[in-house]
Amino acid sequence: MLLQVLDEQNVFVVLALDELEALVENEGADALYKLTRVHESRLKAPQRLSLIGILRSLECLEALDESTRSTLQRNIILLDEYSKGQLKDILGVRVGLGFRDGVVLDETLGLIAELAEREGGNARYGIELLWRAGKYADASGLSEVSPECVRRASSSVYPTVQKDVVFSLGLHEKLFLLGLARRFKRTTEAYLSMGVAEEAYRIVCEEYGEKPRRHTQLWKYVNNLSAADIVESKVSSDGVRGKTTLIGLPYVSAEELERELSRRLGLQ
């Protein structure tokens, strides 16, 4: 019936099936077999229907019969994972559709794109983070979607940081984290420089009556926390004057981290 209508209208259709894995899992080989064989009884008629299958891995095609599999694998285009810039463009389109102008900060969009790139260039994960971050901002009565909203969204979507890992840290690692959490609460920046982080740490040490550790020891703390996926560290880009270490807190809410650390350290 479809081909008859296409003949009558004299049109051609390119049928693109996204998430092809789902069709194979739900319908088996039969549906794809019929689609790849739809022109067999029309050898002298125009080929009205062309098929594009979009899938994450070719492994799902192993469940198909050999003839169908060979037909689908005749022309394969392998696409690279989305880069951070591409993810930011995709998310920017969604921001334009779902948010008022100026509500989602550029720092926020960049942080979401970085997290999505880390998940294998997963645009769906980035869109989920954006949506949840917007919901947190809305529920909190905020006028902007800040990086802190993203941190809260990240901990709810993909809780990589376990509390027992954080609270098994040494005293000064906890004090360093507490300083970071407090500073991130007061800024819309997604990353802090090492110098700003050290300053925040020294303030917390003064509050606790502890002698601050030296820069070399703090550098070791950052490496340990980064290895445990509690913080994210990177070197500043070429656009920043001089080279410095930048520290982010992408996986956990700064507000929640401050509250828990303060309680454990005896401030509350």
Distances (CA, A) of 135 to 78, 117, 130, 153: 35, 22, 9, 9
Segment 149-205, tens digit of pLDDT:
998 888 776 555 556 677 778 899 999 999 999 999 888 888 999 999 999 999 999
**CB neighbour list of residue 2: distance below 8 Å, 6 or more residues apart:** 49
Region of poorest pLDDT, from 2-16, 17-31, 138-152:
17-31
pTM greater than the 0.95 cutoff: no
Given 3.30.1340.10, 2.60.120.40, 1.10.8.60, 1.10.3210.10, which CATH number is that of 84-157?
1.10.8.60
Average pLDDT score, the chain: 86
Question: Which CATH number is associated with domain 163-265?
Answer: 1.10.10.10
Q: What is the mean pLDDT of residues 241-245?
A: 72
Greatest mean pLDDT among 59-63, 111-115, 239-243 lies in 111-115
Given 3.90.180.10, 3.30.710.10, 1.20.20.10, 3.40.50.300, which CATH number is that of 2-72?
3.40.50.300
Task: Assess contact for 115 and 252: CB atoms under 8 A.
Answer: no
Place of tokens 């509350």: 268
Task: Assess contact for 133 and 149: CB atoms under 8 A.
Answer: yes
